[in-house]
Amino acid sequence: MGTVAILGAGVMGETLLSGLIRSGRSADELIVTARRPERAEQLTDRYAVRAMSNVEAAQAADTLVLVVKPQDMGGLVEEIRGHVTAGNLVVSLAAGIPTQYLESRLPDGVAVVRVMPNTPALVDQGMAAVSPGRSADAAHLEEAAELLRSCGRVVQVAEKHQDAVTAISGSGPAYIFYVVEAMIEAGVVLGLPRPTATELVVQTLFGAATMMRETGQHPTVLREQVTSPGGTTAAALRQLDDHKVRAAFITAMEAAATRSHELASGND
């Protein structure tokens, strides 16, 4: 696969970097770039990878992984465009940025793959969706997928679905953490010590997720198994329905997808 440069190694870039290292990729084949020298130093200390400027990284690497915020993408591409050639693969992890945005700013024929990852990649449980741009062939797509497979699962989707993917699995961990926070607060309201409430909620989430994965049963079936007629769960679910929690989730994810779409036009 050659040398991989992670341009803009913040939260998501470091997550991918650590996954590549854990999966056995040699630090010699990995380059990072950062805006702040202290961040670059932190990464070189932690992972023994090389840090360089964006231009140097574009010149040195075969695969360029762009992980800056969507709002910073224009500036980054402008900086490296003169140093990217048709031999490079460009992989973008940015929300909302279409492959066409990058293709139109890079030299003709450069292969671009758009990816939407998520942060559980930090513990090798990531979920990433990949979509090829105009000049990306099956080998390019596989190369991008292999990068992400180092830290989780990978699916291919049509690029038109990437805003939806962003809303569901890209932002998804944040919704789950939000629900966990709310359940912990509920435990505290009910008089449980905070550490006990936290242990109960985190293990319940882990158990429920493992059950879905291992039984393959639909969540509706699993929910019904917990819900005794006239029991405690039915009383709680009735409140969630009365407060339109399901509708709120759908509306929230529609908002995320809309925002992903807006990011393409550089809206701050």
Ligand X SMILES: NC(=O)C1=CN([C@@H]2O[C@H](COP(=O)(O)OP(=O)(O)OC[C@H]3O[C@@H](n4cnc5c(N)ncnc54)[C@H](OP(=O)(O)O)[C@@H]3O)[C@@H](O)[C@H]2O)C=CC1
Q: What are the residues binding ligand X (CB under 6 A)? A: 7-8, 10-13, 33-36, 39, 54, 67-70, 72, 75-76, 93-95, 116-119, 170
Q: Which residue is nearest to ligand X (CB)?
A: 10
From the CB of residue 180, how many other CB atoms can be counted at a distance below 10 Å?
15
247 is an annotated ligand-binding site residue: no
Smallest separation (angstroms) from ligand X to the CB of 227 = 33
Place of tokens 């492959």: 99
Closest to ligand A1CAB by CB, 120 or 170: 170
Closest to ligand A1CAB by CB, 129 or 197: 129
In order of 83, 89, 221, the CA distances from 216 in angstroms are 48, 36, 10
From the CB of residue 137, how many other CB atoms can be counted at a distance below 10 Å?
10
CA angle 250, 255, 260 (to 5 degrees): 125
CA distance 88 to 84: 6
188 is an annotated ligand-binding site residue: no
What is the binding site for ligand A1CAB (CB under 6 A)?
95, 166, 170-171
Smallest separation (angstroms) from ligand X to the CB of 106 = 15
Q: Read off the DSSP letter of residue 243.
A: T
Place of tokens 């702040």: 36
Closest to ligand X by CB, 18 or 54: 54
Query: At a CB cut-off of 8 Å and minimum separation 6, what does 97 contact?
Result: 70, 73, 114, 263, 264
152 is an annotated ligand-binding site residue: no
Smallest separation (angstroms) from ligand X to the CB of 63 = 16
Smallest separation (angstroms) from ligand X to the CB of 8 = 3
Partner in contact with 72, chosen from ligand A1CAB, ligand X, none, beta carbon below 5 to 8 Å by kind: ligand X
The binding site for NADP(+) consists of 7-12
